[in-house]
């Protein structure tokens, strides 16, 4: 109707049909028919008013365009398709499923038109822009990064991008990382706070496993290590509702910005090189751009207003540590990141809590500290505290060769030489034999043990069982032929267990 009224106005002003056609309103033939109708109804009289739209529509027989009344071929499957649309299934998948499983013979475009018609009848979703005060909140998220060579192995590895965005100024901290572990998550927070030289009141996050162990709308469970980090730095953790990442849309936008504006067409020699380039780009390009929403430069806004409202960093950075639930194995050790740490042997088969920082590992049973170790970095490493082992194992480990030699020397010279002869063996370790010989002093006394060792040496029988049987049978008190030594300070000169005097063997 608006177009018809414009043409009638031009006709009243004296424009020809050719001029109206050249202006692009309608062809000359159609304009001539409209002119004849207008003359017939007196519409070209400049004194009278133009008719309203209803009169024009009635006279010109103009109808409003309505969609085609043809029945959609999808209607027999409407209930299923409507549910799939509500679940967010895409059109091509719906069409494939209908064809394969339900005998649908229509085209994909029939399905596409039906989906559009259903969506058109649904009310639009209303969104609300969240407002933040300077220094009030920061938003954190991960994004997929490029493949970068690992300088340790020479292989190309997948990376992630950690991004923390100040919600008010939009200034950000970004870093390429190898994984999304708890250690990495905590370390990135520390570096981000040091980058901003302050801590915001709240940290808005999604629900990653490195931060939230159980996602819940009302009562989410926070990772124990992340909770300690929040206490140490003095910020509150604000998880988004489940499946509602729009609550942190500002960092989501920055993730896309980094992936689309920084990553493409760049070469990275290593992870360190990639992060160096990223930091320079954030300060020079990203920080000084006119932000599409605020129309201000994020870095300037942050430095001039927001940075001064952040909470100061603690004088001593809090110790960042990872908590893990571990079980004590039969060897009295727990395992964490492919390294093993000992605990008291009485805790075998128990479940304990392990707290691992950069430098130490502490193991708790409830709130009681049971073991402390230095942090091991090489896989397969083992840290064992001797006091954690059973008494028998402790005794064996404590009574090393030097201990046995020292104790034998206190018992007597013969016992000392006997012990040295045991350790001189080129075949057997003989540590347990030496420990056994020395332990006989508790039962038989030093004097008898010394005599038994002398008798065993006389017959060159340097074995634990020989000394034991001598003592059990009382042979240590019997006289034996000659001395096994020229003097106690000299070396052994005995003839051996089968030695006989030649004068006795040859008849005279």
Integer Cα distance of 391 and 370 in angstroms: 18
What is the average per-residue pLDDT within 127-131?
76
Question: Is pLDDT at 219 greater than 90 in this prediction?
Answer: no
DSSP state of 214: E
Burial class (CB in 10 A: 0-12, 13-18, 19+), 4: buried
Question: pLDDT band at 217, cuts 50/70/90?
Answer: confident
- The candidate with the shortest Cα–Cα distance to 282, out of 394, 421, 188, 175, is 175
Mean pLDDT of the chain: 87
Q: Which of 392, 394, 353 is nearest to 371 (CA)?
A: 353
Tell me: the pLDDT tens digits for 63-72? Answer: 544 455 578 8
Q: pLDDT tens-digit profile of 390-437?
A: 876 765 666 678 888 988 999 999 999 999 999 998 888 888 899 899
Confidence grade of residue 245 (pLDDT, cut at 50, 70, 90): low
At 97 the pLDDT is: 92
More confident residue, 490 or 9: 9
- Cα–Cα distance list, 442 to 44, 222, 423 (Å): 136, 58, 22
Q: Mean pLDDT across the stretch 337-344?
A: 94
Who's near 294: CB < 8 A, 6+ residues apart? 170, 301
pLDDT tens by residue, 138-195: 999 999 999 999 998 999 999 999 999 999 999 999 999 999 999 999 999 999 999 9
Q: What is the pLDDT of residues 8-59, one digit of tens each?
A: 888 888 889 898 888 888 888 988 998 898 888 888 888 888 888 888 888 8
Q: 492: pLDDT confidence band, cut at 50, 70 and 90?
A: very low
Rounded to whole angstroms, how far apart are CA atoms 281 and 264? 13
Does residue 237 sit in helix, strand or coil? strand
Region 440-451 average pLDDT = 92
Confidence of residue 445 (pLDDT cuts 50, 70, 90): very high
The mean pLDDT value for 370-387 works out to: 92
The radius of gyration of the chain from alpha carbons, rounded to an integer in Å, stands at 46
Are 144 and 210 a contacting pair, CB within 8 Å? Answer: no
- The pTM for the full model equals 0.61
């Amino acid at each position: 109707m608006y177009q018809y009224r414009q043409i009638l106005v031009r006709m009243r002003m004296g424009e020809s049909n050719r001029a109206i056609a050249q202006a692009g309103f309608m062809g000359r033939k159609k304009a001539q028919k409209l002119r004849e109708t207008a003359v017939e109804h007196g519409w070209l009289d400049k004194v009278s008013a133009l008719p309203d739209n209803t009169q024009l529509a009635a006279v010109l027989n103009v109808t409003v365009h309505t969609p085609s009344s043809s029945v959609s071929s999808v209607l027999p499957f409407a209930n299923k398709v409507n549910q799939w649309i509500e679940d967010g299934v895409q059109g091509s998948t719906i069409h494939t499923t209908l064809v394969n499983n339900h005998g649908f013979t229509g085209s994909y475009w029939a399905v596409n038109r039906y989906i559009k018609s259903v969506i058109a009848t649904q009310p639009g979703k209303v969104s609300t822009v969240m407002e933040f005060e300077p220094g009030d909140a920061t938003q954190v998220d991960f994004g997929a990064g490029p493949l970068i060579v690992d300088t340790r192995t020479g292989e190309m590895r997948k990376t992630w991008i950690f991004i923390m965005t100040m919600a008010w100024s939009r200034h950000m901290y970004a870093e390429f990382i190898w994984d999304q572990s708890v250690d990495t998550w905590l370390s990135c927070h520390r570096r981000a706070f040091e980058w901003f030289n302050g801590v915001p009141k709240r940290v808005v996050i999604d629900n990653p496993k490195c931060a939230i162990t159980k996602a819940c709308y009302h009562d989410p469970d926070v990772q124990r290590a992340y909770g300690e980090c929040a206490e140490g730095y003095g910020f509150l953790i604000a998880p988004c509702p489940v499946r509602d990442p729009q609550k942190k849309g500002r960092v989501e936008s920055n993730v896309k910005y980094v992936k689309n504006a920084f990553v493409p067409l760049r070469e990275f020699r290593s992870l360190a090189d990639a992060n160096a380039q990223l930091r320079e780009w954030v300060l020079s390009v990203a920080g000084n751009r006119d932000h599409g929403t605020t129309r201000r430069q994020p870095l300037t806004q942050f430095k001039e207003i927001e940075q001064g409202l952040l909470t100061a960093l603690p004088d001593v950075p809090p110790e960042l540590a990872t908590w893990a639930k571990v079980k004590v194995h039969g060897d009295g050790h727990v395992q964490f990141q492919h390294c093993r740490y000992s605990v008291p042997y009485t805790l075998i088969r128990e479940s304990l809590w392990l707290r691992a920082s950069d430098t130490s590992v502490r193991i708790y049973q409830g709130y009681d500290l049971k073991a402390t170790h230095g942090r091991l970095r090489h896989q397969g490493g083992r840290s064992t505290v001797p006091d954690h082992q059973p008494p028998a194992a402790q005794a064996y480990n404590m009574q090393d060769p030097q201990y046995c030699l020292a104790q034998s020397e206190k018992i007597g010279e013969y016992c000392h030489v006997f012990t040295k002869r045991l350790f001189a063996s080129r075949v057997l370790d003989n540590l347990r034999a030496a420990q056994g010989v020395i332990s006989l002093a508790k039962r038989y006394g030093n004097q008898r043990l010394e005599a038994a060792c002398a008798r065993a040496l006389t017959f060159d029988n340097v074995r634990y069982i020989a000394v034991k049987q001598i003592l059990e049978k009382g042979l240590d008190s019997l006289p034996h032929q000659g001395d096994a030594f020229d003097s106690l300070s000299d070396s052994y000169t005995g003839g051996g267990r089968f030695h006989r005097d030649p004068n006795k063997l040859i008849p005279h």
